[in-house]
Every structure is written in structure tokens, then in C-alpha cells.
Amino acid sequence: MTRLAIIDYGSGNVRSVQRALEAAANAHEIRLDIVLTDDPDRIRQADRIVLPGVGHFADCAAGLANRQGVTEALNEAVFRSKRPFLGICVGMQLMADVGREDVETPGLGWIPGAVERLTPKDAKLPVPHMGWNVLTDLTSHPVLSGLGPDPHVYFVHSYALKPEHRDHIAARCDYGGKFVAAVARDNLFGTQFHPEKSQKAGQTLLANFLRWKP
């Protein structure tokens, strides 16, 4: 039985993430015990950790910081004990050193780099970038396996993570220029898109994450 903790810190639709993970687990006969939690002890006990996030970088960062011991527990479980971790949308952005949405806010500092506003070359392209788009430049990372040649996934965001190191980029996407759609480093994986809203491609990715042994 895999114990999976979804960090519930007042941001984002934890329910959608939970249901999508449960469906992916059922479809692949993975025994999964999910807890929604902001309790540092339960975070430390989890085998896998998912950090969702919707909205404003600074709000989400404050949501984590205001919960006593959560950042420390994440650092311990994820960064030191190397438990598989998945950050989704702002949950992925929080893996960076710093966010630059309106104000400069420190992130968890796991992926060197900054979160900056999308600037499509075609000024007619609206920001937020919202809808179905194609992943490009996919690496052979296990979490991205089986997605097929041009996987479509669902995005809703105005900012994107720019990693300092090229080898932390797992996939890109084109929206008036390329931006980073997924990051990976050791036991860490992050998606700018929403696998929990990406139908079959999303289900495949979530099942990959649940089986991933970094």
C-alpha cells in the first residue's frame, strides 16, 4: 500500500487531484492510501507527495509558510529522504528559487531558477495561456512514458518556471515561443499543466508517477 500525501494548504482543487490519482491507481491496480494533509508528521510518513496549487505564487507560498513545520517536513521528506514528489501548476512553480508574480517571493529552492510571466511573441495571444496544448521536447523521463508522440495536456497559467539548468527541463510547450512545461530532478517532478484535467494523457502521467522509482 502506497501512502500518498496531497498537501492541503488552502490552495487549489485538492479534490480534483485526489479523484484523478484514485482513478489512475484503480486503472493500474495500484493500492493507494491518500491523505489530504498539512500535518508535518503525516508528510514525513508519506511514501509519495503531491503539491497542487492554483492561483497566485505569493499566496501559495504564504499558504505553505503559514503552516507550522510544513516547509521543513517537505524539505526533509522530499529533498533529504528522496521521496517521489509531484508539483502541479503553482505547486511546480514553488519548486523554484523565486517567484516574480507581482512581488518577489522565495520558493522551496529545489529547482534553481525563477518563475516569470509568459511573454508570447505574438501580442494577440492572450495571457493566461488557457486550454489544450501539445508537449514538445519530451525527455525519456519515466513519468512521461507512454504519452505518445504529441501529447495534449490542459494548461491554465500566466507564469512559467525558467530553470537555470537545461537538464532540469523534462518537456516544453509552444505558446508564441517555448516555455518549460515540466521539470525533473532526481526524485522531483513538476508539471505546469494539470494532469488531473488532461483526460487520458493526464491519467497515464499520474499512473507513471505512482509507479515511479527514482
Partner 1 sequence: MLKVRVIPCLDVKDGRTVKGVNFVDLRDAGDPVALARAYDAQGADELCFLDITASHEKRATMIDVVERTADACFMPLTVGGGVRTPDDMVAMLKAGADKVAINTAAVLDPDIIRACARKVGSQAVVMAMDVRREGDGWVVYTHGGRNSSGKDAVAFARQIVDLGAGEILLTSMDRDGTKDGYDIPLLRAIRDVVSVPLIASGGAGNVQHMADAVLKGGADAVLAASIFHFGEATIADAKAALAAAGAPVRPTVDA
> Catalytic positions, please?
89, 194, 196
Q: How far is the CB of 117 from partner 1 (least distance, A)?
A: 14
Among 148, 146, 142, residue whose Cα is nearest residue 211: 142
Phi-psi region of 153 (alpha: psi -120 to 50; beta: other; left: phi over 0): beta
> Which segment (61-69, 80-88, 101-109, 193-201) binds partner 1 by CB under 8 A?
193-201
What is the DSSP-derived secondary structure letter of residue 79?
I
Contact pattern for partner 1 over residues 40 through 59, marking x by CB under 8 A: --------------xxx---
Cβ-contact 117, 186 below 8 angstroms: no
What is the DSSP-derived secondary structure letter of residue 159?
E
How far does CA 86 lie from the centroid of its chain?
5
Judged by beta carbon, residue 89 or residue 111, the one nearer partner 1 is: 89
> Which segment (27-35, 60-68, 154-162, 182-190) binds partner 1 by CB under 8 A?
154-162
Q: Provide φ and ψ at 200, rounded to 5°.
A: -65, -45
* 3-class DSSP state of 75: helix
> Which segment (26-34, 69-77, 92-100, 147-155) binds partner 1 by CB under 8 A?
147-155
- Residues in touch with partner 1 (CB under 8 A): 13, 15-16, 19-20, 23, 54-56, 124-126, 128-134, 148, 151-152, 154, 156, 158, 174-175, 196-203
